[in-house]
Structure 1
Amino acid sequence: MVSTRILIPAAAVVVALGLSSVFVVDEREKALVLQFGEVVAVRETAGLAFKVPLIQEVVRYDDRILSLPTPPLEVTPLDDRRLVVDAFARWRIVDVVKFRQAVGTQGIQLAQNRLQNLIVNAIREVMGSVPSTAVLSADRTSLMNRIRDIAKGQAAALGVDVIDVRLTRTDLPDQNLSATYARMRAEREREAADEIARGGEAAQRVRATADRTVIELTSEARKQAEIIRGEADAERNAIYAEAFGRDPEFFAFTRSLTSYERALQAGNSSIVMQPDSTFFDYLRSDKAE
């Protein structure tokens, strides 16, 4: 009976020790087996693993790709225009032993702080070597790759790999936006004024050309009209001269009848003259009879 009471607790202790010597490594993590703070084993594959109970302990680290955003920071490109830049990085622990030695017991949090400083310094270094136009352009892939490569080389001492760095925002500081917008507005207004001036100049040229064309056409038309009128007058005079030459008496008679028609129309003013006036030659002469 006494031996049974002793064996049951002993068995329980043995079972507890056996269970505490076994641990499971998940496929999303890496594990270190530590003994008195020193690394004695590395477990990077998923499955069961063993350790010495009470003496050894297991420290687990995430084996997935992790994200790290950076705080907004002001950078000064090569042309001294300040910019506000946001970025984020993707990183992963590749050497868990070196990672443990670099961060100690503080783990992921300390690694992120150090990695953030590395990325910020890399951003400042790259952004300071190019003009702001290269930073603000749509194609910033080469800049991001340079930042990634610099951060990757410096982060190797932490046992991590910087997989990618992306710039999410590159803007002007708030205090510079109003001045920039005013300068852009003034530039657009100047361009609009230039376009209006060029348009007015072109319109003036077209108007002047049209006016000159009108004057030329009108002058030509008047010239042709005067020529035609002169030719008609000459032809009329020739007809009159020919008619007068054929029968001067009849020509004088018709001219007198025309004068009578114009002078004696109804509504004309009264005419007072002597009966023996030459105006009435054909009315009182034998020829009129």
Structure 2
Amino acid sequence: MRKSTLILPIAFVAVIVALSSVFVVTEKEKALVLQFGKVVAVKEDPGLAFKIPLIQEVVKYDDRILSLDTPELQITPLDDRRLVVDAFARYRITDVNKFRQAVGAGGIRTAQSRLDSILRAQTREVLGSVNSNDILSVDRAALMKKIRDGAAAKARSLGVTIIDVRLKRTDLPPENLKATFGRMRAERQREATDERARGAEAAQRVRAQADRTVVELVSDAKRQAEIIRGEADAKRNAIFAKAYGEDQEFFQFYRSLSAYRNSLKGNNSTMVLSPDSEFFNYLKTATPE
């Protein structure tokens, strides 16, 4: 009975000790086994692992790709045009032993603080060496790659690999937006004025050319009309001359009728002529013999 009483507590303690000596490492994490604060083992493969209870402790770190958003940062490019930059990075803990030595018990929080300082310094260095137009253009992948490479080189001492760096936003500070918009508006107005002036000049040239063409066409039409009129008059005179030569009496009669038609127009025509004037020869009644 006394032995049973002793065995149960011993068995219970043995189970507790056995359970506390076993830990699990998943595929999402890596683990360090510490003994009195010093790293004695690194567990990177998933599965069961063992440690000495009460003497050793286990510290686990995330093995996935982590993200870090940096606060807004004001930079001054080469053209002294201040910009507000908002960036983020993707990183991964690749050397947990070096990571532990670099950040100590601070863990991820301390690492992110140091990574933030590295990213901000590298962003200032890279973006401060180019003009603002290069930063604001859509083709800025080379700048992001340069920031990533520089930050990655400095982050290796932390046991961290920086995978990617992206610029989420690159804007002008709010106090500069109004002035910038004013300059843009003035520039567009100047361009519009230049375009209107060029349009008016082109329109004036078109109108002048059109007026010249009109004058030339009218002059040519009048010249051709005079030629046609002269040719027609010549043909008419030739016809009259031929008719006069063939029958002089009929020609005189025709000319008299034309004179009567042109002279006796309207209802109030008045003519003062001698009764025996030759003008009325064809209006006189022949006296029967």
Report the TM-score range of the alignment, normalised by the length of the smaller protein: 0.7 to 0.9
Partner SS for 1:58: strand
CA distance in 2, matches of 1:27, 1:243: 126
Structure 1 residues 270, 123: CA separation in 2 closer, same or farther (over 3 Å shift)? same
| Cα deviation digits, residues 18-62 of structure 1 (max 9, x gap) | 221222222211111112111222211222222221111111111
The aligned residue for residue 91 of structure 1 is 91
After TM superposition, give the deviation of residue 231 of structure 1 in Å: 3.3
The aligned residue for residue 167 of structure 2 is 167
Structure 1 residues 285, 140: CA separation in 2 closer, same or farther (over 3 Å shift)? closer
CA distance in 1, matches of 2:254, 2:54: 155
CA distance in 2, matches of 1:288, 1:125: 134
The aligned residue for residue 143 of structure 1 is 143
The aligned residue for residue 129 of structure 1 is 129
CA distance in 1, matches of 2:261, 2:87: 109
Deviates more, 1:124-133 or 1:188-197: 188-197
CA distance in 1, matches of 2:288, 2:114: 138
Partner SS for 2:34: strand
Which AA in structure 1 matches 2:205? Answer: R
Which AA in structure 2 matches 1:138? Answer: V
Instruction: Check the 8 A contact 1:282/1:288 in 2, yes or no.
Output: no
Structure 1 residues 81, 262: CA separation in 2 closer, same or farther (over 3 Å shift)? closer
| Cα deviation digits, residues 177-197 of structure 1 (max 9, x gap) | 222223223323333333333
The aligned residue for residue 270 of structure 2 is 270
- Ranges in structure 2 where 5+ consecutive residues have no aligned partner: none
The aligned residue for residue 80 of structure 2 is 80
- Ranges in structure 1 where 5+ consecutive residues have no aligned partner: none
Structure 1 residues 125, 288: CA separation in 2 closer, same or farther (over 3 Å shift)? farther
CA distance in 2, matches of 1:264, 1:37: 141
The aligned residue for residue 228 of structure 2 is 228
Matches within 5 A, 1:65-76: 65-76=65-76
1:44 aligns with 2:49: no
Which AA in structure 2 matches 1:193? Answer: T
> How much identity, in percent, do the aligned residues show?
65
Deviates more, 1:269-278 or 1:43-52: 269-278
After TM superposition, give the deviation of residue 103 of structure 1 in Å: 1.1
Structure 1 residues 227, 288: CA separation in 2 closer, same or farther (over 3 Å shift)? farther
Structure 1 residues 180, 281: CA separation in 2 closer, same or farther (over 3 Å shift)? same
Structure 1 residues 251, 132: CA separation in 2 closer, same or farther (over 3 Å shift)? same
TM-score normalised to structure 1 length: 0.87
**Matched pairs, number:** 289
Partner SS for 2:267: coil
CA distance in 2, matches of 1:260, 1:162: 117
| Cα deviation digits, residues 58-105 of structure 1 (max 9, x gap) | 111111111111111111112211111111111111121221111111
Q: RMSD over aligned Cα, in angstroms? A: 2.7
1:191 aligns with 2:195: no
Deviates more, 1:217-226 or 1:274-283: 274-283
Structure 1 residues 14, 237: CA separation in 2 closer, same or farther (over 3 Å shift)? closer
After TM superposition, give the deviation of residue 126 of structure 1 in Å: 0.6
CA distance in 2, matches of 1:174, 1:268: 94
Partner SS for 2:53: coil
TM-score normalised to structure 2 length: 0.87
1:105 aligns with 2:105: yes
